Amino acid sequence: MPRSLACSISTPPSATLNTAPPAGKRLGKIGAVWEPADWLRLRTTRSRDIRAPALNELFSPGSNVRNVVTVLGRSASIPQNTSLGNPNVEPEFADTTTLGFVIQPGGALQGLRLSLDYYNIEIDGAITNLSTANIATLCTQGNQSFCDYFTFDDAGNPTSLTAPAMNIGSYTSSGYDLVIDYQFDFGPGTMQTSFSGTYVTDSIVDTGTGSVVNRAGENGWANFGGLPTFRGNLSQTFRTDDYSVTLQAIYISSGKLDVLYNTAPNLTINNNTIPARTYLNLYGSYNLTESVRLFGAVNNLLDQDPPASPYPILNQPVNGNYYDKVGRAFQLGVHLRF
């Protein structure tokens, strides 16, 4: 059996003024791949990267909304601007580690490819605009620096909120990525099964003020770092020279609206659970000629309603990042090749 070991070390290209690392901050990437057998590949990488703040994170005027907020036990409808830029925000640095393997067997399983990778991403000084809910919770927990973004009247009621982009203490995300692809001849064409999924073990937000929260398993969208525990994408495709048909299933695991709800001193609600949801999509194409191809799709084939995942501050009932808000939808089109 062939055995090989390959290593690579890379450094980033010449940095621009906006991305030049400060003294003591080295950037680069190192990786290694080992093939102990012709069907097995082991791989690992370690990198340190930098991201300069975007223009909107530096100079955006933000936008004002008026909604109810609860802070320090007081509720009021107040003007809020939490999308303001901050010219003093600094670059963020990320240390990323991956470790995994790839299997590509032969024989009866020729055409199968499976990969599993563990990842750990640690961001120091992560740039973000915290939501009103985030800031109110941190203030209620006793973090005075976040209370300072509010103004209060003499009776202690909040009257406004203005919070710019900021560097939080750190953010850590870790979990596993699984990819499976199996392709084989079937009748007059080819059958292909594909699966990709991510299982999140940690999504830890450290504001740098003593407040550390693991938001893995949080399916709401009010808080930075909220991620479902598992998301998966499974598709089955049959393809010939003339046409193709694909059935796709997308799965989002159940979770909480906010992992801190119903824990003192945070808000108490009667239902903090968002159920799992699966969506089916259907795709197809047909070649009329060598230069004309018809294609179509039915998204949300079973017309599944999205689960309630409200963000009260923005008066939004559904987290559109994960759940379909449209319902069953049809697409038809033509591709022309000249």
Contacts of 332-338 with C-beta under 8 Å, sequence gap 24+, read 332/294, 332/295, 332/296, 333/294, 333/295, 333/296, 334/292, 334/293, 334/294, 334/295, 335/292, 335/293, 335/294, 335/295, 336/291, 336/292, 337/290, 337/291, 337/292, 337/293, 338/291
* Residue 1 covered by a domain: no
Q: Among 92-96, 179-183, 264-268, where is mean pLDDT lowest? A: 264-268
Structural domain that includes position 265: 168-338
User: What is the reported pLDDT for 268?
Assistant: 85
Q: Shortest CA distance to 324 belongs to which of 279, 281, 282?
A: 279
Q: Which tens digits make up the pLDDT trace of 224-266? A: 899 999 999 999 999 999 999 999 999 999 999 999 999 887 7
136-162 residues labelled b (16+ CB within 10 A) or e (exposed): bbbbbbebeebbebbeeeeeeebebbe
* Residue 175 covered by a domain: yes
* Residue 319 covered by a domain: yes
Banded model confidence at residue 313, pLDDT cuts 50, 70, 90: low
Q: Give the whole-angstrom CA distance, residue 99 versus residue 289.
A: 46
Q: Give the whole-angstrom CA distance, residue 237 versus residue 226.
A: 32
Q: Shortest CA distance to 327 belongs to which of 308, 301, 297?
A: 301
Contacts of 334-338 with C-beta under 8 Å, sequence gap 24+, read 334/292, 334/293, 334/294, 334/295, 335/292, 335/293, 335/294, 335/295, 336/291, 336/292, 337/290, 337/291, 337/292, 337/293, 338/291
Other CB atoms within a 10 A radius of the CB of residue 297 amount to: 17
Q: Is residue 32 scored above 50 in pLDDT?
A: yes
* Residue 207 covered by a domain: yes
- What is the number of domains present in the chain? 1
Q: Shortest CA distance to 67 belongs to which of 317, 318, 313?
A: 313
Indicate the average pLDDT of the chain: 91
User: What is the reported pLDDT for 26?
Assistant: 66
Residue found under tokens 């699984």:
178
Q: Give the whole-angstrom CA distance, residue 119 versus residue 145.
A: 32
Q: Is residue 315 scored above 80 in pLDDT?
A: no
* Residue 117 covered by a domain: no
Q: Is residue 2 scored above 60 in pLDDT?
A: no
Give 35's contacts (C-beta < 8 A, 6+ positions apart).
Answer: 2, 3, 4, 5, 41, 42
Banded model confidence at residue 311, pLDDT cuts 50, 70, 90: confident
End-to-end CA distance of the chain: 48
Banded model confidence at residue 11, pLDDT cuts 50, 70, 90: low
Banded model confidence at residue 9, pLDDT cuts 50, 70, 90: low
* Residue 51 covered by a domain: no
Q: Collapsing DSSP states into helix, strand and coil, what is residue 136? A: helix
Phi, psi of 255 (to 5 degrees): -170, -170
Banded model confidence at residue 151, pLDDT cuts 50, 70, 90: very high
* Residue 112 covered by a domain: no
| Residue 148: both structure tokens together | 């300072």
* Residue 303 covered by a domain: yes
